[in-house]
Amino acid sequence: MNAVSEAALTTAIHVNGQRLWDSLMEMAKIGATPKGGVCRLALTDLDKQGRDLIVQWAKEAGCTVSVDQMGNVFMRRAGRNNDLPPVMTGSHADSQPTGGRFDGIYGVLGGLEVIRSLNDHGIQTERPVETVIWTNEEGSRFAPAMVASGVFAGVFTLDYGLSRKDVDGKTIGEELRRIGYAGELPCGGRKIHAAFELHIEQGPILEAENKTIGVVTDAQGQRWYEVVLTGQEAHAGPTPMPRRRDALLGASRVVQLVNEIGLRHAPLACATVGMMQVHPNSRNVIPGRVFFTIDFRHPQDDVLAQMDAELREGIVRIAEQGRLETQVEQIFYYAPVPFDKACVNSVRAAAERFGYSNREIVSGAGHDACYLATVAPTSMVFVPCIDGISHNEVEDATIEWIEAGANVLLHAMLERASEPG
């Protein structure tokens, strides 16, 4: 195998776009949904099936595979000096209940394609190269999102991560053991030279501006809340309107409040109520208890704090009006993330080397790279998705975009993996 210097990087060194596309389509068969999407919730049998296939492909590409205590899967291609910290990439293989074929898995298989392409071109990197499957990025089965990369980065303790429960009371730790991905490798504490995550944008900006590559400079901060409003269940017929303590009415007013807060801090703010459970959920009973979630996002931490204050003040007011009891818990928070300038520059240089149209962009979604950025120099590569639609079965992209993103990832990683110790 030959080493490649930064000066020797040319577009002759590229990925096999068709092979990457075929791998994505093969993975999309696992958990396929009627509308063309996927459902591979974290640590289900379908998630195991997807992990097993990726691990098989990684071993066929000559990688060694290890699994840590949170079930994160590390697939390593050896370098000339394996004592040096690796250059890392990867994303997640779990999906939303009605997820798409590219969210997360594109970053995992894009990393695998980098390794396959290095093999194709006979290139030996100075440093090891790794692609990773991060456990439970979506947070749709186990809250909060990105919990395993959070444990890796030291944001959460291992006990906290393993103890997260789904709606049936099953924990991450129990489900990792059940599907055979409860590894022994410590979660975190590893040195990483540089890290990149490849992802579809999940928004409309790149496609609308006819840009092929998003050079991600920052990620929005987020606050997630779980809220319980408690009133009093009563018969829907005999109970007069003025005497009611209707928890669902109060929850509806909070939903309106959340939307108003988002609009008040437009255009960068996002505010969403995405999940609601009504008790007793009977057609002729006034709801006595409502559980729901709130998601706030903004790239400025002071604005996020203001949104938090407005929410809490508003919930108190609404509860007093409806004579309701309240419980508001912020279950997830991370500050806006500035990505490493050197890694950002590597992405930009790779995009320009291939002649891809590009622009700087801020990620509106949370990604494992956001936690990884707290322990290693990190950046991201975005490609467009059709109509900006994601977390949806109709999520789609073109093979040209998919190939372009992987080419940028290959060159960004190869540049950093060629650096000596």
**What is the DSSP code (8-state) at residue 388?**
G
Contacts of 303 (CB under 8 A, 6+ apart): 265, 268, 269
SS3 string, 271-296, reads EECCCEEEECCCCCEECCEEEEEEEE
As a whole number, mean pLDDT of residues 406-410 equals 98
3-state secondary structure of 409: helix
Asked if the structure places residue 1 within a domain, the reply is no
pLDDT (0 to 100) of residue 4: 72
Half-sphere exposure of 352 toward its Cβ, with a 13 Å CA cutoff? 9
pLDDT at 47 over 90: yes
284 φ, ψ to 5°? Answer: -120, 30
Banded pLDDT at 347 (limits 50, 70, 90)? very high
As a whole number, mean pLDDT of residues 179-206 equals 97
For the chain, the average pLDDT equals 96
Asked if the structure places residue 46 within a domain, the reply is yes
Which residue segment(s) compose the domain that 76 sits in? 6-220+336-417
- Same domain? For 51 and 120 the reply is yes
pLDDT (0 to 100) of residue 335: 87
As a whole number, mean pLDDT of residues 332-358 equals 95
- Same domain? For 261 and 340 the reply is no
- The CATH number for 300's domain is 3.30.70.360
Banded pLDDT at 329 (limits 50, 70, 90)? very high
Banded pLDDT at 328 (limits 50, 70, 90)? very high
Boundary of a domain, candidates 334, 356, 373: 334
Contacts of 415 (CB under 8 A, 6+ apart): 6, 9, 346, 349, 350
- Same domain? For 304 and 340 the reply is no
As a whole number, mean pLDDT of residues 49-70 equals 98
Cis peptide before 420 (omega within 30 of 0): no
- Same domain? For 281 and 195 the reply is no
Boundary of a domain, candidates 308, 334, 360: 334
pLDDT at 217 over 90: yes
Asked if the structure places residue 164 within a domain, the reply is yes
- Same domain? For 324 and 367 the reply is no
- Same domain? For 108 and 214 the reply is yes
As a whole number, mean pLDDT of residues 363-382 equals 95
- Same domain? For 388 and 404 the reply is yes
Banded pLDDT at 334 (limits 50, 70, 90)? confident
As a whole number, mean pLDDT of residues 368-376 equals 96
Asked if the structure places residue 196 within a domain, the reply is yes
CA 399 to chain centre: 22
Condensed to tens digits (0 to 9), the pLDDT of residues 126-156 reads 999 999 999 999 999 999 899 999 999 999 9
- Same domain? For 329 and 352 the reply is no
pLDDT (0 to 100) of residue 397: 98
128 burial type by CB count under 10 A (0-12 exposed, 13-18 middle, 19+ buried): buried
Banded pLDDT at 7 (limits 50, 70, 90)? low
pLDDT (0 to 100) of residue 6: 65
Q: What share of the chain is helix, strand, coil (3-state, %, to 5)?
A: 35, 25, 40
pLDDT (0 to 100) of residue 63: 98
- Same domain? For 246 and 212 the reply is no
Banded pLDDT at 34 (limits 50, 70, 90)? very high
pLDDT at 124 over 90: yes
pLDDT (0 to 100) of residue 268: 86
pLDDT (0 to 100) of residue 2: 75
- The CATH number for 205's domain is 3.40.630.10
Q: What is the DSSP string of 177-213?
A: HHHT----B-SS----SEEEEEEE-SSSHHHHTT-SE
Asked if the structure places residue 10 within a domain, the reply is yes
Banded pLDDT at 421 (limits 50, 70, 90)? confident
- Same domain? For 371 and 312 the reply is no
Boundary of a domain, candidates 334, 353, 381: 334
Asked if the structure places residue 102 within a domain, the reply is yes
As a whole number, mean pLDDT of residues 407-417 equals 98
- Same domain? For 177 and 296 the reply is no
Domain count, the chain: 2
- Same domain? For 198 and 230 the reply is no
